[in-house]
Amino acid sequence: MNNKKMGVFILVITFFLLSVFVSVIQSLNQEIKALGCFQQAGCRTIETSLSVIHFAFGAFGFLFALAFYLLVFSRGEEAIVERLEKDTERKLGEEKYSILSKGLNDFEKKVLAVVREEEGVTQNMLRLRVDMSKAKLSQVLQELEKKGLIARQPKGKTFQVFLKERL
């Protein structure tokens, strides 16, 4: 059960308990008026019951605070968890890239770095960014494709270059 549903459930129980406590206190107050409580034995029983009710109000306060916390602050926790997951994923990608780049030559590293920065970069734009001839870039891209690191898709008279796996 997620935090919001749990918070609503606890809140409903809390308000039910509150109504029970209030009705018990009202009935005890009516008994007090009826007995005209001063120093009678029945008055001590009512006094003890009121002490128990005060304890119950403490429990009510705790349940209400818990329900409020689950309803209001659960979104913040979900955002923190999501951010941590993204950060972990990014770090893993950087580690993969670091390990992978050790097996590549300088030209392949340059090309892969640009493709990693800009997914779907066209081959013409890539050539300008890495400062290579068309022939050399084509050769490097073929090698990266053979290694299973990139994929090229036709786009007009050129190709778009994508990473096969997010690094």
CATH of the domain at 109: 1.10.10.10
In one-letter notation, the amino acid at residue 52 is V
Q: 68 and 10 share a domain?
A: yes
Q: 8 and 60 share a domain?
A: yes
Tell me whether residue 97 is in a domain.
Answer: no
Number of domains in the chain: 2
What pLDDT, on the 0 to 100 scale, is given for residue 74?
65
Q: 68 and 127 share a domain?
A: no
Tell me whether residue 15 is in a domain.
Answer: yes
Percent of the chain with pLDDT over 90: 2
Residues in the chain: 167
- Domain of 12 in residue numbering reads as 3-72
What pLDDT, on the 0 to 100 scale, is given for residue 148?
85
91-113 burial code (b ≥16 CB/10 A, e <16): eeeeeebeebeeebeebbbbbbe
Return the minimum-mean-pLDDT range out of 35-49, 88-102, 107-121.
35-49
| 130 and 111 Cβ atoms separated by less than 8 Å | yes
Q: How far apart are CA 88 and CA 83, in angstroms?
A: 9
Q: What is each CA distance from 94 to 5, 22, 65, 74, 140, in whole angstroms?
A: 38, 60, 42, 30, 22
| 34 has pLDDT over 60 | yes
Sequence-distant (6+) residues with CB within 8 A of 35 are 42, 43, 46
| 45 has pLDDT over 70 | no
What pLDDT, on the 0 to 100 scale, is given for residue 42?
62
Tokens of 140: 């490097």
Average pLDDT over residues 24-36: 74
